[in-house]
Structure formats: C-alpha cells, structure tokens
Amino acid sequence: MKYLIAGLGNIGAEYAGTRHNIGFDVLEEMTRSSGTSFRSDRYADVAELRAKGRHFILIKPTTFMNLSGKAVRYWLDQENITIDRLLVVTDDLALPFGKIRIRAKGSDGGHNGLKNIAELLRSETYARLRFGIAGNFQRGAQVDYVLGKWTDEERTILPDRLQKAASACISFGLAGIQTTMNQFNNQ
C-alpha cells in the first residue's frame, strides 16, 4: 500500500528554517529517523520509506508554495495513489505554536498552497496535517512573519514537535486517519 505525504514549503536557501517551510521540515525529520534521503525529481524533491508493509512517497514540491497542486497531482498520478492516501503537511497561523491538527478534509483556510491543491485535484477531500506556527505578528506583517525564522524559544521546542508530526504522518499510513486524529490532535 502506497501513501503520498506532501510537505509544503518554498525552495531556496533563503526560505530554509522559516515558519512557512514547516512542511519541508516535517518530511526532513521523517527521512532523518528512517535513514533515507531526498533526490531531485519532476516537480519535487522525493524520498521513499517503508514501515510495516507500507510504502511512503515523500515529496517537497519545487514549484513554490502557491503552485503545490501541480506536484501533488503529478505524484499521485505517477505513483497511482488515490486521494484517500494523500496527506498534506502545512503551516497554520490559527494554531498555537507546535500544535498539530489532523483532518480528513476541509477548506484551504486562506492557505494558498492548499487552495492550489484543491483546485488541481478538484476536491477538498484529502487529509492534511496542520502544524501551528501561531499568529504573533502585527497587522499587515503576516508575510514577514510566516517567512521569518523561528525564535530561540521556538527552536528549543521544535525538534520534539517535528518528531510528533513525523510520527503522525507514519500513523496516517499504518493506523488510518481516524486513529491518527484521535491520537495526535489532543497532544
């Protein structure tokens, strides 16, 4: 059984370590703990890992955040994976820092990456893991905040939260969406 885990972010060194790239960071954590690594491929950097008979295709779209749907659609088609085996990992301003919220479907919530995925898949019925980045910014400073680096305090907590999110991604494939929501949404 194959699963596609798409971590959203922006390519380029200037975006590394920013709040908006948390989707990339979660997938990097997954490869660190499994000993695999990413390779450049069409529309994405791609890694593969196996866990208990499940095959996970991890993608970090190289299309930039607002065009993430192109990579997601391509890799679903390329690997012959159905939309119910797709999990998208993204940042969320509405959640407290480090909080994980997993849903089986939903709206884009104003997130342009999710909006583009829904447009190209013609569906909002795909699982998503939202990673809270909080909304600690002045009015009009949202772009600077999401493209900003983590604070020193956040950086000390981040490794634990990345491990939890990576575990939730594996749980999605092993235990299913409902069990994963029950286990991780209240942590």
Q: What are phi and psi of 54, to 5 degrees?
A: -100, 145
Q: How many of the other CB atoms lie within 10 Å of CB of 2?
A: 15
DSSP class per residue in 71-123: HHHHHHHHHT--GGGEEEEEEETTSPTT-EEEESS---TT-HHHHHHHHHHT-
Nearest to 99 by CA among 126, 134, 146, 128: 134
Tell me if residue 55 is catalytic. Answer: no
Of the residues 6, 7, 8, 20, which is catalytic? Answer: 20
d(CA 100, CA 105): 15
Q: How many of the other CB atoms lie within 10 Å of CB of 104?
A: 15
Residues annotated as catalytic are 20
